[in-house]
Amino acid sequence: MPITQGAAANTTSGSAAEILLELVDEDGNTIGTAEKLAAHQAPGQLHRAFSVFLFDERGRLLIQRRALGKYHSPGVWSNTCCGHPYPGESPFAAAARRTYEELGVSPSLLAEAGTVRYNHPDPESGLVEQEFNHLFVGMVQSPVDPDPEEIAETAFVTADELAVRHDQAPFSSWFMTVLQAARPAIEELTGPAANW
């Protein structure tokens, strides 16, 4: 996968450098940048993010359990992919890039599904998700090959199976917020029979 101009600005000679996020105002307009961890420390700085929901041809949602080594919300279940665009990178490009980086697969379809703004503290880490989140829905038709440093486990679930799993296992603090916000686009994508 090619490195975007924004991604190139966040690496130095092939080694990891400071990761910058795009700070935004309440309308989603860019107002500056902040280092990733600093932006998530309480009370949090409002920054641009994205969330991806990919479905198979049977209308099942691909969810992931975050790797135990993640600094934020390790070991919890969440949507297909989520993250942050680099400064100057479009949310769509970032969503496609991170889906490939984390899951080893490119969506066969990816469409914008609106935005949602939220403020979710994570009681375990003390970090705060203060995000202006761009939502995307789409299809995946190839087998996934998750990066173990990012993802501990994946599963395809129906709406009913997700409800049971959500009652029994820990999920990310933002999961239900982004799912609810994306639901109209999910229903349009999967059709009434999928019952999303």
pLDDT in tens, 13-35: 333 468 999 999 999 999 999 99
CB 62 within 8 A of CB 80: yes
CB 138 within 8 A of CB 55: yes
Distance (Å, rounded) from C-alpha 178 to C-alpha 133?
8
- pLDDT (average), residues 141-162: 97
pLDDT band at 86 (very low <50, low <70, confident <90, very high): very high
- pLDDT (average), residues 50-67: 97
- pLDDT (average), residues 170-179: 95
pLDDT band at 98 (very low <50, low <70, confident <90, very high): very high
CA-atom Rg of the chain in angstroms? 16
Residues whose CB is less than 8 angstroms from the CB of residue 104 and which lie 6 or more positions away in sequence, other chains included: 144, 145, 146, 147
Rounded to the nearest 5°, which phi and psi values hold at 161? -65, -35
DSSP state of 28: S
- The residues carrying an active-site annotation are 82, 131
